A and B are shown apart, each in its own frame.
Chain A
Amino acid sequence: MTIQEMKQDILRLLRRNARIPDQEIADRLGLEVAEVAAAIAQLENDRQVLGYSAVIADGATGDDEVSAIIEVEVQPERDGGFDRIAENLSRFPEVRSAYLVSGRYDLRLSVVGKSLQEVAHFVASKLASQPGVRATATHFMLKTYKEAGIQFHEDETYERLKVVP
């Protein structure tokens, strides 16, 4: 296993479960724990791993109950295209994710807030008013079915036979 392959294997495991213990990574990949810890530290240092977060059921935390997908149409700038304005919008803590996308609009943001009004107010006063933003369309999210590769509903499982030679 090359160092590059080792790092890729570690990243795949962390993407599936950010809380996986270093020891389990080491056992799975046939490495020493110290090697794993050093590799992860380096991945973090190199900003290959940018952070860790949990996938949480709708409403479980009690705050930021409302989220919305905002499509943003932007006038790109002569220098830097979409980057400056996208980075500016990303600085608002209400913006949970921000992507440049192909298609009939340019940026796809997800925004959270305590209420419909709060999100609507944020979009109107902070996003739509930014220089370079030509139009926005807000889609309030009603229910989550899947996020970060994790299904929110449990599939019924079928019990296998206990012994099959």
Chain B
Amino acid sequence: MNDSKLSRNWVADHIARLPRSGIRDFFELVNTMDDVISLGIGEPDFVTPWHVREATIYALQKGFTSYTSNLGYMPLRRSVCRYVAERFGPGYDPATECLITVGVSEGLDLALRALLNPGDEVVYHEPCYVSYAPSIAMAHAVPVAVVTKEETEFALDPAAVEAAITPKTKVLLLNFPSNPTGAGLTAEDKARLADIAVRHDLLVISDEIYEELTYGERTPSIATLPGMRERTLILNGLSKAHAMTGYRIGYACGPQALVEAMMKIHQYSMLCVSSIAQAAAIEALENGDGPRREMLREYEQRRNVIVKRLNALGLPCLMPRGAFYVFPRIAGTGLSSNDFARRLLEQQKVAVVPGTAFGASGEGYVRCAYATGLEDIEEAMRRIGRFLDSLG
């Protein structure tokens, strides 16, 4: 932008006010370096399973390349509703309660814009995915973060949620299993949060993109609890568990009136999701269980290794319940998250994401993704060991 100054300040105030991501410089530095082992990638290292790619090719061959319904291709909506009901959620009507979106990102944006009036407050937990606070702000609403702590396994304390609620609170935004902490919600946590939502008449947006990457015991979606179906929007998609990030397929399931409101925005701004990606998503949902389980098993085993190694290196690290991230504490090195990440990259060519990328409460931590082959993880751990030695 330096060489082309605007003739006046054209940028909308609320966009100008969005903070520039403090870690963008760091990302740009990473991208200029070669031979980096990156634990900074929030997407599967697996290529999309071949049967899904093959179905994509078939969709092209058939010429399935026109617009679909604004809500999404009906056979895909039927697959999604069947899948949700079978795997973790309540039953939804594919005709009126399900919307196919461009990833969870669009689903979240649509939901926030459909729900919020200027000044409404959204309570969410932090450290969290990078887009939550900006997305809330772009919907002219007020982000209210509740900090989750390592001492309580980064679980969301229902009492802290309740304390953050004001008369202006309209939405509770949840993301479990969580990026970046890997924390989960127990059935008891979900019940207590549901009780709070009902008592304070809140709508819950439950970003469950990592739900299918849960290790060990799974509990049903908060939407299945009494009184919750009519006040919960489930956001999910195929990016993570089905290794389809580039396809950009997400979905939203919830009460008809909300889905209808989201669809209005979607039809004017997006029209519909890529038809061939929708065709591929049907294949993944109908026939993708084998590959999905195999990938899940591999992530779980890598998780066991990386947690053991980090703790042995003296970087305390909890055993995540889900997703493919660990969030080790690096505060003991005396470095800030940013300095740790930058110096580790410069000295040992290992990329991790500073915890502060996920909110100020991420200071003292870094995020390492284990969606990377075990050999690279092991080498990265050796390099981190050398880096820690060099700190003395």
Contacts and interface: CB of A to CB of B under 8 A. Distances in A.
Interface in B363-392: 374
Interface stretch (B35-43, B159-167, B249-257, B261-269): B35-43
Given A24-B374, A27-B308, A164 B42 contact: yes
Contact residue range for chain B?
Answer: 20 to 34
A158 B47 CA distance: 9
Contacts of A12: 297
A28 B305 contact: yes
B305 A163 contact: no
A69 B169 CA distance: 71
Contacts of B302: 28
Nearest to B180: A165
B305 A161 contact: no
Contacts of B357: 165
B351 A162 contact: yes
Interface residues of A, number: 16
A29 B301 contact: yes
Nearest to A24: B374
A158 B42 CA distance: 16
Nearest to A30: B304
A161 to B, nearest CB: 7
Nearest to B375: A24
B363 to A, nearest CB: 16
B305 A162 contact: no
A160 interface: yes
Contact of B30 (A29, A158, A163): A163
Interface in A126-165: 155, 157-158, 160-165
Contacts of A163: 26-27, 30-31, 38, 40-41, 351, 353
B129 interface: yes
Contacts of A28: 301-302, 304-305, 374
Given A27-B304, A27-B308, A160-B41, 4 more contacts: A12-B297, A30-B308, A155-B47, A165-B129
20 contacts: A24-B374, A27-B305, A29-B304, A157-B47, A160-B41, A160-B43, A160-B45, A161-B41, A162-B30, A162-B36, A162-B351, A163-B26, A163-B31, A163-B38, A163-B40, A164-B43, A165-B42, A165-B129, A165-B130, A165-B353
